[in-house]
């Protein structure tokens, strides 16, 4: 079985490549080059069908997706006839939100005969199972995690985001299109009168997959930079749904959590 990794920005594609015992074909969307790994080929959405045929000609039978991609601006002048025929299908999916768009992408690859794998299939160690990875928990932290999980489930049900910040039961931020970093930066910038007394609990950020999400694509991702941002936001820790969140460089995350006095909790 030959596998192509459809790569976007960030460190995740390199982590998946490093976890594989045999090589992958790394294919990057034009303008979204991954960090730390060279792409074997680059493609554009406007030339999607020729790209799929190229993979087929290389003997690729399976694909997986890793890395961050925003919706690219399409250049009609670059469309080939076969890809142009797919455009109404893609545009309709885009109008339905991120989940609908991702499902449409998976369906197109599947229709072309490729098996679609998830990061969990290629690099299962990147998704920690249940357990406390750093620090200690209080009953207040557990209550905040329960509250945050409810909020994230509600956000995910309407395809908005995969994260929330809760402090002493109060929601200080939710993740939307700008992403996790923007959410944490917003919390860091909140004036003191809008924040509960930190002596009673510093709260947490929580991340989880969306309810009913196809877990082969777009799982939440955390890494060392997330720990730094949570510390800068004055939080007490990070909690996430066990088995459903990708963690990049867990040892580095644990070292930083110890340095900043934060907990890391893979919540079962």
Residue 98 pLDDT > 70, yes or no? no
**Which of 122, 140, 165 is the last residue in one of the domains?**
122
**Which of 122, 138, 173 is the last residue in one of the domains?**
122
Under the banding of pLDDT at 50, 70 and 90, the label for residue 149 is: very high
Under the banding of pLDDT at 50, 70 and 90, the label for residue 1 is: low
* Angle subtended at Cα 119 by Cα 116 and Cα 125, rounded to the nearest 5 degrees: 150
Average pLDDT of the residues of the chain: 93
Residue 28 pLDDT > 90, yes or no? yes
Residues 263 and 142 in one domain: yes
Residue 21 pLDDT > 80, yes or no? no
pLDDT score of 227: 98
**Which of 90, 122, 154 is the last residue in one of the domains?**
122
Residues 111 and 132 in one domain: no
For 31-35, 62-66, 67-71, 185-189, which range has the lowest pLDDT when averaged over its residues? 67-71
More confident residue, 90 or 55: 55
More confident residue, 1 or 27: 27
pLDDT score of 102: 78
**Residue 24: CB partners within 8 Å, gap ≥ 6?**
3, 4, 5, 16, 17
Residue 256 pLDDT > 70, yes or no? yes
Domain that holds residue 229: 127-267
Residues 184 and 107 in one domain: no
Query: And the tokens for 218?
Result: 């777009």
Assign residue 92 the CATH number of its domain: 3.40.50.20
Residues 165 and 89 in one domain: no
Per-residue pLDDT tens over the stretch 195-220: 999 999 999 999 999 998 888 988 99
pLDDT score of 49: 94
How many structural domains comprise the chain?
2
Under the banding of pLDDT at 50, 70 and 90, the label for residue 127 is: very high
Under the banding of pLDDT at 50, 70 and 90, the label for residue 88 is: confident
Under the banding of pLDDT at 50, 70 and 90, the label for residue 100 is: confident
Residue 252 pLDDT > 70, yes or no? yes
Half-sphere exposure of 39 (CA within 13 A, CB side): 20
Assign residue 233 the CATH number of its domain: 3.40.140.80
Residues 141 and 100 in one domain: no
Residues 147 and 110 in one domain: no
Give pTM, 2 decimals: 0.91
Question: Above pLDDT 70, what percent of the chain?
Answer: 98
Residues 89 and 156 in one domain: no
Residues 243 and 148 in one domain: yes
Residues 259 and 157 in one domain: yes
Calculate mean pLDDT across residues 126-153: 98
Residues 238 and 113 in one domain: no
Per-residue pLDDT tens over the stretch 220-248: 999 999 999 999 999 999 999 999 999 99
Residues 75 and 138 in one domain: no
**Residue 240: CB partners within 8 Å, gap ≥ 6?**
206, 207, 208, 220, 222, 247, 265, 266, 267
Query: Which CA distances in Å does 243 have to 55, 183, 221?
Result: 30, 23, 12
Calculate mean pLDDT across residues 51-74: 91
pLDDT score of 70: 78
DSSP 71: P
pLDDT score of 238: 98
Query: And the tokens for 139?
Result: 């009953």
Residues 117 and 146 in one domain: no
């Amino acid at each position: 079985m030959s596998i192509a990794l459809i790569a976007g920005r960030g460190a995740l594609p390199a982590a998946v490549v490093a976890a594989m015992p045999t090589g992958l074909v790394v294919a990057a969307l034009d303008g979204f080059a991954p960090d730390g790994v060279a792409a074997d080929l680059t493609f554009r959405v406007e030339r999607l069908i020729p790209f799929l045929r190229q993979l087929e000609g290389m003997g690729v039978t399976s694909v997986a997706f890793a890395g961050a991609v925003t919706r690219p601006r399409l250049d009609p002048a670059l469309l080939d006839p076969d890809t142009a025929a797919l455009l109404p299908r893609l545009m309709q999916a885009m109008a339905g939100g991120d989940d609908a768009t991702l499902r449409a992408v998976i369906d197109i690859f599947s229709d072309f005969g490729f098996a679609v794998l998830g990061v969990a299939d290629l690099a299962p160690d990147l998704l920690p199972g249940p357990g406390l990875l750093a620090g200690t928990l209080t009953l207040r932290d557990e209550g905040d995690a329960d509250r945050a999980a409810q909020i994230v489930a509600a956000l995910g049900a309407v395809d908005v985001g995969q994260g929330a910040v809760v402090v002493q039961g109060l929601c200080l931020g939710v993740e939307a299109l700008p992403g996790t970093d923007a959410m944490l930066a917003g919390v860091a910038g909140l004036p003191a009168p809008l924040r509960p007394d930190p002596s009673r609990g510093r709260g947490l950020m929580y991340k989880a997959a969306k309810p009913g999400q196809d877990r082969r694509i777009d799982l939440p991702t955390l890494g060392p930079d997330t720990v730094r941002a949570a510390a800068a936001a004055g939080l007490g820790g990070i909690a996430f749904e066990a088995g459903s969140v990708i963690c990049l460089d867990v040892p580095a995350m644990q070292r930083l959590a110890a340095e900043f006095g934060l907990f890391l909790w893979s919540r079962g």
